């Protein structure tokens, strides 16, 4: 039974059971291919950071514990950020909680199955950081067999700390939000509170790594004074110090056991608590009449703003787009001088590259990419209504554009504040982000039509863990890099005006082709769902 | 109103509905009875355009479901067995959305929402999100949504599941009154007593085959519907 529960949870997180019951090997391969790509991508990033840090922190003899302490601490932080929201959704908000609790299965077994899945999740985040640290160290100084054993044990234990913290936070979130009428705002604020330091860390990673690498003594003092368990972990790996290992073991296991005990004792109560809402008495108001297509669009927008996971996942790119535009205005002269001195790029071309870069941030906006998957069990409503399939698809497309285009336009307005910007760049500051966003809306919808996930247990699975979402995220990130690199590379070949025209034409044509797809194969695919 | 002619639906090798023929006239209340997996829901979903079918023809008021599904859907209302509704919406937003989709005028939607939500006792809850509704309230909301465009044919899959006795009574009353005005009802049920008292016609389906159909009197004769059903269920198809 335990194995079945674990496998069910994994399959609900990663797989879609097709309607005809046939396995879709291709989709699974794409999904796992993307996960491996992500792991390698981040692994390489951490690998290069640890090369810099190890130069300053390690000498290959005893006393390299601070290096491993830092690796363990960062692994714990990464696992925590990556798993805290998943913990809350998987334990307290899973739709099958009541079903499973009504079956002759011990609650402890249900909880344990979920914890195993969460452990694997947290372990993956943790390992992406810790394994490169080990490889760098072993490659430079060779790690003894005892060192490897300790390292593996510590790697196994580190996720337990992040899970303990995640459990406590998830438990508190559930207690606070279980009787809240509008959880969305609370969850958005919370997620931003987690995301902002993380994003700041990512953006300033190089500076932070350089700063940390030059201050080994300070870092060591901080770990010894305030984060001793991690220091003990580091010393256990570098010096094979059994006492330190036992300290780390105690610090990981005991709080985890306490957290587990508390959660198992309150699991049924919290998981089955009636979702309380502050009741509002209906007061008759004039009802707004809309066309069917706009009615679908408004339904989609309402869904987007009512679900914090959807709003955050789909809307972060919008906020980033405006933030990047403001940053570009402030830092334009620095960027211009840097590119001018490096490759003799003109100010107009620099502005064009900035426009393309900011527009391409819009490619990580995800609204349409899960709009079909989110229909889930409600798909019958649209399919039994007298709506043309194209109206349904266009309604979803409109929702994306209504949400995203104001941000594209605002970013264009902000870019217009760049001093000395040419008239052509002023116009394209609006045109390129808008055209690119239209393309993103079409691309997301086509992705979701190709890879729908309708059998989710909670909406986060459709939003974040579907093949379509992975393709859109990586496609978007890849697009940002590709467009900026290509724009810079083409500097010698074409003038900035031609570059902007080509980008606009490519994505305009892409949107046109997707429009044709929607009217043909897109309609057919939706009707087959 | 609803013509199902030689309907056949297969899932791979399995024949879910085999050469089924039913005719439902305007103003008729037609009960569709069968054990679990007999093919009732498959037939219903084929009628409302949720499932494609392999052979046969379904027409609503003379319009083919395959050839002009939109026109057919605009004439009917469908109430599924499990009212999965948009939980992120409030009751009133959901009803307004359905009214938009069916192009109901502002005046009509206001009047009908007011009438039916009052009747089912859910009017005061319309501002609350559907996620906060009980199963019965969702079922009532689904029924109100189905009535909002005054359909000519209402197709229901186990419509009385989850309803409290008062609401079940109200639904039956609405069905009788609307039937008098010409609306046809085609619904599946396990509650034989309801079928016996409410329906004009009954069809019993087993393993995708139609076993018997006719008026309630024709089907049951001098026996109870329960006896007839159990006897027919025991026979080989």
At residue A91, the pLDDT reads: 74
Q: Is A242 left (phi over 0), alpha (psi -120 to 50) or beta?
A: alpha
Among A222, A242, A271, identify where a domain stops.
A271
pLDDT over 70 percentage in chain A? 91
Nearest to A68 by CA among A130, A5, A24, A157: A130
In a domain, A37, yes or no: yes
pLDDT band at A254; cut points 50, 70, 90:
very high
Sheet architecture: strand order including B201-206: B76-79, B153-157, B184-189, B29-33, B201-206, B209-215
Position A15 pLDDT exceeds 60:
no
A 205-234: CB under 8 A from B: none
pLDDT attached to residue A276: 56
The shortest C-alpha distance from B93 to chain A (Å) reads 9
Return the pLDDT at A252: 92
- Do residues A231 and A310 both lie within one domain? no
A296 and A157 together in one domain: no
Q: What pLDDT score does B185 carry?
A: 92
Count CB neighbours of A186 within 10 A: 14
Q: How far apart are CA A357 and CA A506, in angstroms?
A: 15
CB B149 within 8 A of CB B99: yes
Whether A285 maps to a domain, the answer reads no
The predicted model gives B40-63 an average pLDDT of 89
**Cβ neighbours for A46, distance < 8 A, ≥ 6 positions apart:** A128, A129, A132, A133
Pairing of strands B76-79, B184-189: unpaired
| Domain boundaries, position B189 | 2-234
- Those residues with Cβ within 8 angstroms of residue A386's Cβ, 6 or more apart along the chain or in another chain: A292, B70, B71, B73, B74, B101, B102
Does A284 fall in a domain?
A: no
Write out pLDDT tens, residues A298-313: 999 999 988 878 888 8
Give the position of tokens 């090369």: A51
Burial class (CB within 10 angstroms; exposed 0-12, middle 13-18, buried 19+) of B3? middle
A423 Cβ contact list (under 8 Å, min separation 6)? none
Whether residue A237 sits in one domain with residue A369: no
What pLDDT does residue A347 have? 83
pLDDT digits (tens, 9 = 90+) for A64-83: 888 899 999 989 988 888 77
Query: In a 3-state reduction of DSSP, which class is residue A198?
Result: helix
Residue A449 lies in a domain: yes
Per-residue confidence (pLDDT) for residue A14, from 0 to 100: 58
pLDDT at A28: 65
pLDDT at A185 over 80: no
Which among B50, B123, B126 is the nearest to A380, CB-wise? Answer: B50
Hey, are the CB atoms on B99 and A288 less than 8 Å from each other? no
Q: What is the pLDDT of residue A21?
A: 47
Give, for A493, the enclosing helix (H) or strand (E). Answer: none
Whether A201 and A321 share a structural domain: no
Q: Are residues A255 and A347 in the same domain?
A: no
Same domain? For A305 and A247 the reply is: no
Residue A280 is assigned to a structural domain of this protein: no
Partners of B15 in the β-ladder: B10
DSSP H stretches of helix in A178-241: 183-203, 205-213, 216-225, 228-239
Structural domain count of chain B: 1
Residue A214, domain extent: 2-13+22-271
Q: Which of A304-313, A340-349, B2-11 has the lowest mean pLDDT?
A: A340-349
Whether residue A345 sits in one domain with residue A259? no
Q: Which residue has the higher pLDDT, A278 or A469?
A: A469
Average pLDDT, chain A: 83
Same domain, yes or no: A296 and A180:
no
In this model, does residue A23 exceed pLDDT 70? no
The reply to whether A299 and A219 lie within a common domain is no
- A20 pLDDT more than 50: no
Chain B residues within 8 A of A385 when measuring between CB atoms: 73, 98, 101-102
pLDDT at B91: 93
Which pLDDT score, from 0 to 100, does residue A12 have? Answer: 64
On whether both A171 and A261 belong to a single domain, the answer is yes
Establish if A57 belongs to a structural domain. yes
Q: CA geometry: angle at B74 spanning B68 and B75, to 5°?
A: 95
A313 and A209 in a single domain? The answer is no
CATH number, domain with residue B63: 3.40.50.300
Residue given tokens 């760098």 in the structure block: A136
Residues with Cβ within 8 Å of A359's Cβ and at least 6 positions away in sequence, in order, are A321, A408, A411, A432, A433, A435, A436, A437, A483, A503
Q: Do B101 and A292 touch (CB under 8 A)?
A: yes
Q: Identify all chain B residues contacting A380, using CB atoms and an 8 Å cutoff.
A: 50, 78, 80, 84
Q: In total, how many domains does chain A have? A: 2
Phi-psi group of B6: left, alpha or beta (phi > 0 → left; psi -120 to 50 → alpha; rest → beta)? left
Q: Do B126 and A282 touch (CB under 8 A)?
A: yes
- The gap from C-alpha A168 to its chain's centroid, in whole angstroms, comes to 22
**Which of 363-402 (A) contact B at CB < 8 A?**
376-378, 380-381, 383-388
Mutation target to probe the B interface, by most B beta carbons within 10 A, among A22, A371, A380 is A380
Asked if A380's CB is within 8 angstroms of B97's CB, the reply is no
Q: How far apart are the first and last CA of chain B?
A: 28
Both A105 and A157 in one domain: the answer is yes
For A141-147, what is the mean pLDDT? 83
Q: Last residue of a domain, which of A222, A241, A271?
A: A271
A279 inside domain? no
Distance of CA A2 to the CA centre of its chain: 29
């Amino acid at each position: 039974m335990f194995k079945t529960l674990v496998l069910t949870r994994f399959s609900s997180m990663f797989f879609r059971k097709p309607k005809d019951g046939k396995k879709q090997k291709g989709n699974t391969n794409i999904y796992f291919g993307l996960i491996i790509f992500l792991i390698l991508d981040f692994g390489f990033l951490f690998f290069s950071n640890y090369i810099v840090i190890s130069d300053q922190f390690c000498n290959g003899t005893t006393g390299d514990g601070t290096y491993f302490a830092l690796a363990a601490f960062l692994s714990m932080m990464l696992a925590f950020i990556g798993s805290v929201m998943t913990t809350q959704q998987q334990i307290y908000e899973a739709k099958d909680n009541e079903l499973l609790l009504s079956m002759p299965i011990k609650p402890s077994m249900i909880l344990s199955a979920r914890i195993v899945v969460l452990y694997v999740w947290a372990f993956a985040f943790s390992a992406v950081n810790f394994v490169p640290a080990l490889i760098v160290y072993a490659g430079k100084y060779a790690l003894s067999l005892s060192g490897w054993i300790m390292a593996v044990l510590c790697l196994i234990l580190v996720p337990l700390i992040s899970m303990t913290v995640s459990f406590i936070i998830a438990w508190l979130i559930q207690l606070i939000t279980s009787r809240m009428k509008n959880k969305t705002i609370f969850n958005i604020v919370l997620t931003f509170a987690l995301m902002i330091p993380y994003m700041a860390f990512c953006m300033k990673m190089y500076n932070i790594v350089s700063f940390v690498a030059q201050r080994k003594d300070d870092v060591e003092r901080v770990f010894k004074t305030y984060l001793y368990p991690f220091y003990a972990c580091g010393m256990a790996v570098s010096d094979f110090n059994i006492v330190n290992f036992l300290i780390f073991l105690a610090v990981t296991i005991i709080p985890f056991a306490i957290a587990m005990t508390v959660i198992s004792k309150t699991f049924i109560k919290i998981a089955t608590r009636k979702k309380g809402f502050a009741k509002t008495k209906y007061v008759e108001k004039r009802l707004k009449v809309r066309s069917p297509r706009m009615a679908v669009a408004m339904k989609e927008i309402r869904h987007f703003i009512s679900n914090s996971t959807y709003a955050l996942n789909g809307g972060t790119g919008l906020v980033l787009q405006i933030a990047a535009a403001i940053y570009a205005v402030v830092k334009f002269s620095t960027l211009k001088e840097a590119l001018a001195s490096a490759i003799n790029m003109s100010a107009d071309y620099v502005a064009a590259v900035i426009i393309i870069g900011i527009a391409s941030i819009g490619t990580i906006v995800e609204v349409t990419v899960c709009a079909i998957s989110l229909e889930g069990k409600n798909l019958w409503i649209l399919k039994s209504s007298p709506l043309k399939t194209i109206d349904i698809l266009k309604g979803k497309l409109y929702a994306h554009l209504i949400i995203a285009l104001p941000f594209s336009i605002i970013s264009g307005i902000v870019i217009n504040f760049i001093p000395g910007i040419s008239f052509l760049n002023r116009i394209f500051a609006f045109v390129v982000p808008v055209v690119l966003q239209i393309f993103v809306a079409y691309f997301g919808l086509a992705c979701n039509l190709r890879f729908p996930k309708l059998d989710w247990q909670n909406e986060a699975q459709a939003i974040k863990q579907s093949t379509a979402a992975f393709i859109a995220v990586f496609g978007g990130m890849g697009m940002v890099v590709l467009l900026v690199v290509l724009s810079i590379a083409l500097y010698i070949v074409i003038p900035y005006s031609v570059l902007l025209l080509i980008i606009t034409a490519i994505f305009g044509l892409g949107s046109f082709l997707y429009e044709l797809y929607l009217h043909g194969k897109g309609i057919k695919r939706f009707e087959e769902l | 109103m609803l013509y199902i002619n030689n309907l056949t639906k297969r899932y791979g090798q399995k024949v879910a509905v085999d050469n089924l023929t039913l005719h439902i006239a305007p103003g008729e209340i037609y009960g569709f009875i069968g054990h679990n997996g007999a093919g009732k829901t498959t037939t219903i979903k084929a009628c409302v355009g949720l499932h494609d079918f392999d052979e046969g023809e379904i027409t609503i008021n003379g319009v083919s479901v395959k050839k002009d599904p939109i026109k057919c859907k605009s004439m009917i209302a469908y109430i599924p067995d499990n009212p999965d509704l948009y939980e992120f919406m409030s009751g009133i937003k959901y009803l307004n959305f359905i009214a938009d989709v069916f192009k109901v005028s502002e005046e009509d939607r206001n009047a009908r929402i007011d009438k039916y939500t009052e009747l089912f006792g859910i009017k005061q809850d319309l501002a609350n999100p559907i996620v906060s509704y009980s199963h019965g309230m969702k079922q009532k909301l689904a029924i109100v949504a189905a009535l909002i465009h005054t359909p000519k044919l209402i197709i229901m899959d186990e419509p009385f599941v989850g309803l409290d006795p008062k609401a079940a009574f109200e639904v039956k009353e609405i069905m009788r009154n609307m039937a008098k005005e010409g609306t046809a009802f085609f619904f599946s049920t396990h509650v034989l007593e309801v079928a016996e008292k409410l329906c004009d016609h009954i069809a019993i389906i087993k393993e995708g085959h139609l076993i018997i159909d006719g008026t309630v009197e024709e089907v049951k004769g001098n026996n109870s519907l329960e006896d007839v059903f159990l006897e027919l269920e025991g026979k080989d198809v």
